[in-house]
Amino acid sequence: MGQTVGKRLTIFAVALALSSAATAAPLDPLGDPAQFQRDVAELNRKPLPDGEPLARVVGAAVAVDARQRGRCTPNKISIGALSPVTLDGMITSMVAAGQIENAWLTAVKLDDCPPAAPIRVLLLRMADGVALQGIFAGQGESLAWPTLAREALKATVPHAVNALRRADPACAPKDLTATDVKVADRSPDLGPDVYGLRLKGSWREIWTFEPCGHRITVPISFTANGTGGASWDIDGGGIVYVP
């Protein structure tokens, strides 16, 4: 059955929780929509993080994930293009609250590790416009913005766990994180990326989990709702378990 993050991801509704933010907030989602759009565009005209500071922070985020999941820790990485996610509901609220200046997603290839899907890193630039923080945001390709991906993961994991319990009851991983995500289909009307969001259309992804040496793939379809949110539907009948 489909789920929805609806208003939680609506760029204007998230600001309802920000009544304590200063009047001089970098963004005002409750203000004039045209001004809000101009402010978002202005934020994204600033120079992107680059060079050694970017490499250091992204490398640290990759290393933390490798330790937590027991994966290969690379000594060499290739950092992909930075894609802004300013309109992700979580990011918008953080910018409006003066906690960060902006945020981006990047795909990171682990050059000297065994072949694996790229690591997605959420890069935050703090409100001072200088300090950076990198956070593991998943593995593989995905069109889901950070808040949507986080909510969809919560719904997807139980399906993977149920398949695992039926096939191998002795396998009890502490947690499940996808080791790969692939975009399987895109609707003809799928809209472009708008500072992290898709405002129209739908797409389907295949999420892969590899607990205890097994392989479980879970198909999940997303549909944009036109207001910054999206619904999803997990195809329980399409889940595949490979010993």
* pLDDT score, position 15: 32
The yes-or-no verdict on residue 13 having pLDDT over 60 is: no
User: For the CA atoms of 217, 199, 89, 82, what is the dihedral angle to 10 degrees?
Assistant: 70
The yes-or-no verdict on residue 223 having pLDDT over 50 is: yes
- Work out the pLDDT band at 22, boundaries 50, 70, 90: very low
* pLDDT score, position 17: 34
* pLDDT score, position 168: 93
pLDDT higher at 172 or 76? 76
Q: Rounded to whole angstroms, what are the CA distances from 70 to 25, 44, 193, 222?
A: 41, 36, 33, 30
Mean pLDDT for 77-100 is 97
What distance in Å separates the CA atoms of residue 223 and residue 201, rounded to the nearest whole number?
A: 6
Q: Collect all residues with Cβ–Cβ distance below 8 Å to 173 and sequence separation of at least 6.
A: 211, 212
Mean pLDDT of the chain: 89
The rounded percent of the chain whose pLDDT value lies above 90 is: 83
- Work out the pLDDT band at 1, boundaries 50, 70, 90: very low
**Vertex 43: Cα angle to 91 and 53 (nearest 5):** 80
* pLDDT score, position 25: 55
The yes-or-no verdict on residue 224 having pLDDT over 50 is: yes
* pLDDT score, position 30: 87
The rounded percent of the chain whose pLDDT value lies above 70 is: 90
**Vertex 68: Cα angle to 63 and 73 (nearest 5):** 35
Per-residue pLDDT tens for 91-133? 999 999 999 999 999 999 999 999 999 999 999 999 999 999 9
Question: In terms of DSSP bridges, do strands 77-79 and 230-234 run parallel, antiparallel, or are they unpaired?
Answer: unpaired
What distance in Å separates the CA atoms of residue 40 and residue 222, rounded to the nearest whole number?
A: 25
Per-residue pLDDT tens for 184-217? 999 999 999 999 999 999 999 999 999 999 999 9
* pLDDT score, position 103: 98
pLDDT higher at 5 or 103? 103
Mean pLDDT for 44-73 is 96
Mean pLDDT for 28-32 is 90
pTM of this structure: 0.87
Mean pLDDT for 4-13 is 35
